[in-house]
Chain A
């Protein structure tokens, strides 16, 4: 996951986390971030915004941001218009949340130029992104091969749960 260069377009005074509102997992994470990034006085350290349906609105944030890419990978649009994607976006969000700021320092730790915690986070992000269909996301496209048995198992368990429930 990479950092996209700034193109000199000011997004806002705070970073904007773009999330897929049609995916239950992404929606819950986006709403959690919005909630915990707001302090008691109502001040927020970053903004959470559903990606929406208008490609032109996203291009205003960054001309290189296509709506398809926004739905494919989590994007954090920085105030200078640059973007952080995937695991890098998650790390930046954690750095800005009061509750996780201290813990998130580990993502900047380098050992001979390599960032082990960031690499682990990137991997965790990929696994979570791939495994969203297990949790019922039907808008996440073709399920990765390694996830399919778990999706099948999840559907079986959910259908068993429904049939086992007594009628209201």
Chain B
């Protein structure tokens, strides 16, 4: 039932006004979780994603977008369910994963995957 997490937040929150600068104009790898606070699967993913964001902080900038508020961004990126993590490289979508991934290793691999395949 409970998904208690530490108050420290390794994931920044983006809105429609901050999205462009953080993602579109960022030349480095970016991962954006489209989520909502009322989504139980997002709550299950949250502690694992916090760990992944902490682990990847030197490689990938991790953010969240609350689709319950940011309807425009959810429509623009065709988000049909939460959580959905979209990976961006140089402002363009490089890949996405949908659904909860409760294992840290699987989540880290899923986030890294699209960026590594771009280097190959």
Partners in one complex: yes
Stretch at the interface among B20-28, B36-44, B54-62: B36-44
Q: What is the interface size of chain B, counting residues whose CB is below 8 A from a CB of the partner?
A: 19
Stretch at the interface among B3-11, B88-96, B103-111, B112-120: B3-11
Contact A141:B69 (CB < 8 A) given known A53-B37, A66-B5, A71-B38: no
Let me know if B3 and A139 touch, CB within 8 A.
no
Contact A141:B39 (CB < 8 A) given known A66-B7, A68-B46: yes
Cβ of B1 < 8 Å from any Cβ of A? Answer: yes
Let me know if B40 and A141 touch, CB within 8 A.
yes
Cβ of A142 < 8 Å from any Cβ of B? Answer: yes
Contact A68:B3 (CB < 8 A) given known A53-B68, A141-B41, A142-B44: yes
Q: List residues of A (2-41) whose CB comes within 8 Å of B's CBs.
A: 20-23
B positions within 8 Å CB-CB of A: 1-5, 7, 36-41, 43-44, 46, 66, 68-69, 100
A positions within 8 Å CB-CB of B: 20-23, 51, 53, 55, 66-69, 71-73, 126, 129-130, 139-142
Q: Would you give the shortest CB distance from B48 to chain A, in whole angstroms?
A: 13
Let me know if A72 and B43 touch, CB within 8 A.
yes
- 15 example contacts (A-B, Cβ-Cβ < 8 A) are as follows A22-B39, A22-B68, A53-B36, A68-B4, A68-B5, A68-B37, A68-B46, A69-B3, A71-B37, A71-B43, A72-B3, A139-B36, A140-B40, A141-B44, A142-B40
A50 and B41 alpha carbons, distance in the complex (Å): 20
Residues of A within 8 A of B66 (CB): 53
Let me know if A53 and B43 touch, CB within 8 A.
no
Contact A69:B4 (CB < 8 A) given known A53-B68, A141-B43, A141-B44: yes
Choice from B38, B40, B44, B100 contacting A21 with Cβ under 8 Å:
B38
Let me know if A22 and B3 touch, CB within 8 A.
no
Instruction: List 9 tightest A-B contacts by C-beta distance, closest first.
Output: A141-B40, A22-B38, A139-B38, A72-B2, A67-B37, A68-B3, A140-B40, A53-B69, A68-B43
